[in-house]
Amino acid sequence: MNKRVWLATLAVALLTAGASVWWTQRGAADTVQYRTAKIERGKLQATVASSGAVNPVALVTVGSQVSGQIRDLLVDFNDEVKAGQLLAQIDPETFEYRLRSAQADVDASSAAVATAQANRLAALAQVSRAQVDLTEAQRDLDRKQSLVEKQFIAQSEADKARALVNTSREALKAVQAQVGVAEAGVKSAQANVAQRESALAQARIDLARTRITSPVNGIVIKRTIERGQTVAASLQAPELFVIAKNLRDMQVEAAIDESDVGRLHTGQKASFSVDAFPGQTFEGQIRQVRKAASNVANVVTYVAVIGFANTEGKLLPGMTANVRVVTDERQDVRKLPNSALRMRIAGVEPQAAAASAASAKQPVAPDNRAAARGRVYVLDLQGKPRALSVRLGVSDGSMTELLQGGSHEAELAEGALVIVGLKPAGGSAKPGSAGPRPPL
């Protein structure tokens, strides 16, 4: 009997101990554990990152203003050319015939001018003759009128002389009109000569345009024609060559997001790298921030032109450049991880009004330091999280400057711990994780 009581007592004690262990483990498992990081002090840089293409400062497209077949091709890729150097020759035979035809038209119209001038001289001679006839008729009329007054001749003789004067006067008017017609003919012939000379000059220009020459000193980086190819310039000048004016002075045209463009200005230093030279950084300077926006898939960007000296000639047109522009820099400032600012714990609010805390923002650009506010969490003496409102400065994407901690300045001194995430049950989180592991 005593044995049974002893066994029952032992069983009850074992059950009680197991329940106590289970309850203790369950409570420990239900306790939330937080990952923390220290507030550091050091240097902080705010940067804008983007990508773009390396291009020469000046690219000149050489085309053709006339159509025809390429007879001679005198340059190739990477050839250095001088201003005025012959690059290609379009077959000039058709244009030479047009020039000859235009020259013949000029000669014919010049001969027509000479004929018109001769006709004018003939008309002037007729005017002189008509004036002589009129003068003689008037003298004869005066003489006969005097004889009639003396009754030496009949009145009819004076009337005949008067009729001859009138006839001579009308004849003079007629030949004077012919002189006007001859002068108009001369002017028309001269205008025709000017027109033909213009056509001749155009023919000369077209013939000269069959010689494709370089407008600048540079290097041929593109050639789109071959010998024997026919080019057509009916609507627009076809592209034959692209010449880089200078490969020693180049630029990067980087696409800057609209949220970052306000932080850039002319004269800022910039650095970039290219895939062709890994590990090597090239330095440049912002020459221009273009105001023309580009909207692709509802993403608005602006072009920042970064000039640099390609003295060694390493960089080639078209290379992709990864650009980094330092927009602001702080020395010896407090900084905390951005993961601490992204952390949110339900039910834990700053001591200030909840509405004010709800409007807190993540770190923004340095130009808006006064408006940048945020929230961080620290652990109190009992290990429970407590929310604090803070003011923020510049950010480099991973760390943010801590400007002011308000009434909790002492709790946010250098070396203080802030919550950056949760530890998953059963072990510590991996470094760098910003929150609990998502469920599988």
pLDDT number for residue 397: 80
Of 302, 330, 358, the position where a domain reaches its end is 330
| Highest mean predicted confidence (pLDDT) among 21-25, 111-115, 163-167, 356-360 | 111-115
Residue 349 lies in a domain: no
Shared-domain flag, residues 84 and 215: yes
pLDDT number for residue 84: 93
Cα(40)–Cα(125) distance, integer angstroms: 113
Confidence of residue 361 (pLDDT cuts 50, 70, 90): very low
pLDDT per residue over 138-162, tens digit each?
Answer: 888 788 888 878 888 888 887 888 8
Shared-domain flag, residues 161 and 256: no
Sequence letter at residue 126 = Q
Q: How many CB atoms lie within 10 A of CB 97?
A: 12
Shared-domain flag, residues 112 and 174: yes
Minimal CA–CA distance to 341: which of 305, 309, 377? Answer: 377
Minimal CA–CA distance to 266: which of 319, 309, 325? Answer: 325
pLDDT number for residue 439: 35
Q: Which domain holds residue 85?
A: 63-89+210-243
pTM to 2 decimal places: 0.60
The CATH number of the domain where 70 resides is what?
2.40.50.100
Shared-domain flag, residues 217 and 201: no
Shared-domain flag, residues 73 and 142: no
Binning the chain into helix, strand and coil, the percentages to the nearest 5 are 40, 35, 30
Cα(324)–Cα(271) distance, integer angstroms: 5
Residue 440 lies in a domain: no
Residue 408 lies in a domain: no
**Range of lowest pLDDT (21-25, 135-139, 154-158, 241-245):** 21-25
Shared-domain flag, residues 302 and 161: no
Of 268, 300, 330, the position where a domain reaches its end is 330
Q: 365 or 302, which is more confident? A: 302
